[in-house]
Structure 1
Amino acid sequence: MSEVRIAAEPRTEFGKGAARKIRRESKVPAVLYGHGIEPKHLTLPGHELLLALRTPNVLIRLEGEGVDELALPKGVQRDPIKGFYEHVDLLLVKRGEKVTVDIPVTLTGDIAPGGLLDQQLITVSVESEATHIPTGVEVDIEGLEVGAVVTAGDLKLPKGTSLIAEPETVVLQVINVPTSAEAEGATEGEAAESAEAAE
């Protein structure tokens, strides 16, 4: 995974008023923590941060006065209406260090006709080197028929990445699609039960 370089400025003013002032300047308040260091309060450029956070588990190189660190975003607060970032928590990481992250599960192909895909996990927890976090894991569902099940243990993870989720956790399954006759039969059965109950 490539690094995204973002300019970071030390933040010395705190509180809601100071945070609002920062946001008016199209910047975002942030806190960098981890490895037993005192949390560092920073200000980051809003647009660059927005672009960086479009990539899951993006590795951010913070550069600025008194700051030259690698970090992973661990907590993001967004305005529920306008959508801009209100605050970001960043976890300090070192090269070669193992971190636990959730990576997206993406599907390729199409299941066999007559089935219905039931995807139960859209992300899966893995452990990986902080500087080699995979962007995701692909599952080929081409031709899967009713009854097929893919578990977390079936996922083909990149070298150097290990599964944290329980191996038997169901990622997806292909279930049967009720036919119109079955659906009508169920409806008729429910109607009969209702009539009996009314009597």
Structure 2
Amino acid sequence: MSEVKISAEVRSEFGKGAARAVRRENKVPGVLYGHGTEPVHVTLPGHELLLALRTPNVLLALDVDGKSELAIPKAVQRDAIKGFLVHVDLLLVKRGEKVTVEIPVQAEGELAAGGNLLEHVLNTLSVEAEATHIPEAVTVSVEGLEAGASVLAKDIALPKGSTLVTEADAVVLQVLAAQAEEPAAEGAEEPAAEGAEA
């Protein structure tokens, strides 16, 4: 997994006004917590953090006012319209420590012929892994699967050192039969009636 070095500054001013001032400087307010310590309010460089967060469960090697800390992102808030980072919660971790994280599920391969659809029931799996060896994703082969087939969480091979936290019998992927084309006129007026306000 990726380890990214980032410098963080401890901040002492809080509230919306202070957070806006931080963001005007192209920085991101955040909170560093974990291991029974008091939460530390920090400021992180916006562009560097944005690049780092492109990797799921990235391990951040933080330099916090001269002190080295390892952390993983636990909650990331983005502006709903412009997409810039608003705030980040970081969890302190130690090498060798186990943490529970969500890792993306990626499908590869071609379904059996017939125009069937692959539905991602779960986009991520919850796994326990060593904090410094969190998998970036798991890949599942759907090669040749036919309508009605499904892939359960327990069927997915996890990287070495990871254990499944998601319920073993949870459906992760399923193959849906191709829908037959229906005449457009049938039931065309029903959806409009459903959304009408009383």
Following superposition, the deviation at residue 61 of structure 1 comes to 0.6
CA separation in 2, counterparts of 1:148 and 1:169?
14
Name the counterpart of 1:144: 145
Q: 1:26 to 1:178 in 2, by over 3 A?
A: closer
CA separation in 2, counterparts of 1:109 and 1:81?
34
TM-score by structure 2 length?
A: 0.88
Following superposition, the deviation at residue 66 of structure 1 comes to 4.2
Contact 1:8–1:67 (CA<8 Å) still a contact in 2?
no
Name the counterpart of 1:24: 24
Q: CA RMSD in A?
A: 1.5
Name the counterpart of 1:58: 58
Matches within 5 A, 1:41-190: 41-114=41-114, 115-180=116-181, 183=182
Q: 1:146 to 1:44 in 2, by over 3 A?
A: same
CA separation in 1, counterparts of 2:118 and 2:109?
12
- Aligned-partner SS, 1:95: coil
Deviations 1:145-191 (A, max 9, x none): 122211000000011100001111001112222445xx46xx69xxx
User: Which 4+ stretches in 1 moved above 3 angstroms?
Assistant: none
TM-score by structure 1 length?
A: 0.87
CA separation in 2, counterparts of 1:157 and 1:62?
28
Name the counterpart of 2:195: none
CA separation in 2, counterparts of 1:123 and 1:58?
15
CA separation in 2, counterparts of 1:125 and 1:81?
28
Deviations 1:24-80 (A, max 9, x none): 110011110000111111110000000011111111011141431000111111122
Name the counterpart of 2:196: none
CA separation in 2, counterparts of 1:78 and 1:95?
29
Aligned residues: 184
Contact 1:73–1:88 (CA<8 Å) still a contact in 2?
yes
Contact 2:11–2:42 (CA<8 Å) still a contact in 1?
yes
Name the counterpart of 1:38: 38
CA separation in 1, counterparts of 2:75 and 2:179?
42
Contact 1:101–1:127 (CA<8 Å) still a contact in 2?
yes
Following superposition, the deviation at residue 119 of structure 1 comes to 2.0
Q: 1:44 to 1:178 in 2, by over 3 A?
A: closer
CA separation in 1, counterparts of 2:176 and 2:90?
41
Q: Unpaired runs of 5+ in structure 2?
A: 188-198
What letter is aligned with 2:106?
T
CA separation in 2, counterparts of 1:146 and 1:16?
51
